[in-house]
Chain A
Amino acid sequence: IQLTQSPSSLSASVGDRVTITCRASQGIGSVLAWYQQKPGKPPKILIYDASKLESGVPSRFSGSGSGTDFTLTISSLQPEDFATYYCQKFNSFPLTFGGGTKVEIK
C-alpha cells in the first residue's frame, strides 16, 4: 500500500488555514498518523488514529478521514509550524510513510 501526500510543498502566511492530503492506494481504515519534523530534529507525533490529537499538541492541528483519503489541517498557521509533515499507515507491515509536505513561509 502506497501513501501519496499532496502537495509536496506549499507556501503560506502566518494565520493561514493549511490543509495537507494523504491518499492510500488501498483502504486502511483509520490507522493513520501524522508527524511534524523540523530540520535537524526527529519527527514529532501530532495525530494518531486519523483524528486523535496527541497529548500536548496544539488544538489548531486536526486530522480527518478514513479508508483511502485523509487530511491534516492547521487552522491558523503559526511561525513554529513551518516544518515538513508526514503521514504513516499503521494497518499492517510495512508501516509506510508518505513522501512528506514541506510548509514554507510565504
Chain B
Amino acid sequence: EVQLVESGGGLVQPGRSLRLSCVASGFTFDDFAMHWVRQAPGKGLEWVSGISWNNDGIGYAESVRGRFTISRDNAKNALYLQMDSLRADDTALYYCAKEGQWMVSLDHWGQGTLVTVSS
C-alpha cells in the first residue's frame, strides 16, 4: 500500500523559513516523479512544485519560484520542500503527491501538513 506521510509544518513568522518532509513507502520511490500541492483554508488546489525521479526535471509555481526549493533523497525515500521568505499567503495545507506511472496524474496523496505564516 502506498503511503505518503508529510511533516514539518507549523506556525512561523513572516520572512522566516520552514522545511517540509514527505516519507514514502509501498512503492519504488526512485521510479516516480513527486510533487507538492497546497490548499489555503477554504480555497482550491494550487500546484507548488515537482521533481523528476532523477532530479533532472524540476518546476515551480510562479508564486513560489525563487523562495521555495524542492529536493529528494532516493536513498531515504524522502521528498523535501525548503520554504524561505515565507509570506502570509503561503498559509496552507501542503500535500505531498506521487505522480502516476503514465506521468499524467497524481495518483496518491498524503494527508498534508499545515503551514501557518503569521506574526
Q: Give the distance to chain A from B23, nearest Cβ to Cβ, in Å.
A: 16
A93 & B44 in contact (Cβ 8 Å cutoff): no
Interface residues of B in 59-100 (CB under 8 A from A): 59-62, 95, 97, 100
Main secondary structure on chain B at its contact with chain A?
strand
A33 & B47 in contact (Cβ 8 Å cutoff): no
Instruction: Determine whether B110 belongs to the interface, using a CB cutoff of 8 Å to chain A.
Output: yes
Residues of A close to B45: CB separation below 8 A: 35, 37, 43, 86, 88, 97, 100
Residues of B close to A84: CB separation below 8 A: 44
Residues of B close to A52: CB separation below 8 A: 102
B59 & A42 in contact (Cβ 8 Å cutoff): no
Interface size class of chain A, counting residues whose CB lies under 8 Å from the partner chain: 20 to 34
Interface residues of A in 8-45 (CB under 8 A from B): 31-33, 35, 37, 42-45
A45 & B35 in contact (Cβ 8 Å cutoff): no
* B11-39 vs A, Cβ < 8 Å mask (1 yes, 0 no): 00000000000000000000000010100
Q: Name B's A-contacting residues (CB within 8 A).
A: 35, 37, 44-47, 50, 59-62, 95, 97, 100, 102-107, 109-112
Q: Name A's B-contacting residues (CB within 8 A).
A: 31-33, 35, 37, 42-45, 48-49, 52, 54, 84, 86, 88, 90, 93-100
